[in-house]
Structure 1
Amino acid sequence: MFGKKAQPPIRSLVGEGMSVHGELRFTEGLRIDGEVQGDVIATGEARSILVISEKARVLGKVKASHVIINGEVHGPVLCDELLELQPKARIVGEVRYEVLEMHPGALIDGELRPLRSTDKPTLTLAASNDA
């Protein structure tokens, strides 16, 4: 489903050692290696990608089409396409997703809910051998 669509380019960066205070809005792609104290929200109608690296920390709401987390998020996460939780991901807050890929080691302290209420959850196991 996601492999066929080209990912938007990552044009913005919050670098390691950098701290941003306040709401951060972006289009297309953003990578966070530092700390953001405030909401991180993709704007516009186009697809978006947000990467929160292993050393990153976000204290606020996170919202984008495709979110990849390997750092810390303290706040709600809303992902209307694919949410990827890497092994060092730590989330404290409600998580809403369309499709979830969660690697062993990732932790969520909060409610985990799909955007669409279905009989079968759209959960992909990272260790799955099914293709």
Structure 2
Amino acid sequence: MLGNKSKPAPPAADTTSLIAVGTQVRGDVRFSGRLHVDGSVEGALHGEGANAVLTLSNNAKVTGEIVAPHVVINGIVSGDVTASERLELASGARVEGNVYYKVMEMSAGAQINGKIVHRAEPPRQLAGPQETKAEAEDFALPGATVKP
């Protein structure tokens, strides 16, 4: 009909998907927005986009790699976890694998059996002109000779 326009889909950051208690997923899962896992997953979980958030409840069990910007774990993970922005480990978290993070919050009782590796942003290198002799002389000690 005229004037009856369909509404666009909400942005991915506003969507939440759920893998409920009693649900078993076998295979890799790619998601954007939010994914809340109460069931079990045998496969990799990959959050796509800067706003992707993965939450594993105390009932969740994941056997496979986890990669997302923001990861919250209160369940069991058998595999490596990579949180490019923030990793939160609640008291019920059990991780059997390596953990890679930028910022991590770990509650008392959380367990990690693997390497814990901080991945900070690489240092920025300033690209610019070489230091001039005049600039070098500004910082030279009195009586020091500055060579070009």
Q: Deviations over 1:49-89 (max 9, x none)?
A: 00000000000000111100000000000001110000000
| Alignment correspondent of 1:30 | 35
Q: Taking every aligned residue pair, what percent have the same amino acid on both sides?
A: 39
- Give the greater-gyration-radius structure (CA): 2
Larger helix percent: 2
Pair 110,17 (structure 1): closer, same or farther in 2 beyond 3 Å: same
Task: Give the counterpart letter for 1:29 in structure 2.
Answer: R
| Alignment correspondent of 1:20 | 25
1:117 Cα deviation from its structure 2 partner: 7.8
Q: Distance in 2 between matches of 1:46 and 1:117?
A: 15
Q: Distance in 2 between matches of 1:100 and 1:17?
A: 29
Write out the 4+ residue segments of structure 1 that deviate beyond 4 Å after TM superposition: none
Q: Distance in 2 between matches of 1:83 and 1:46?
A: 14
| Alignment correspondent of 1:60 | 64
1:46 Cα deviation from its structure 2 partner: 3.2
| Alignment correspondent of 1:98 | 102
Give the number of aligned pairs. Answer: 110
| Alignment correspondent of 1:48 | 52
What runs of 5+ residues in structure 2 fail to find an aligned partner?
Answer: 1-12, 123-148
Larger strand percent: 1
TM-score, with length taken from structure 1? 0.80
Q: Quick one: higher RCO (CA 8 Å, sep 6+), 1 or 2?
A: 1
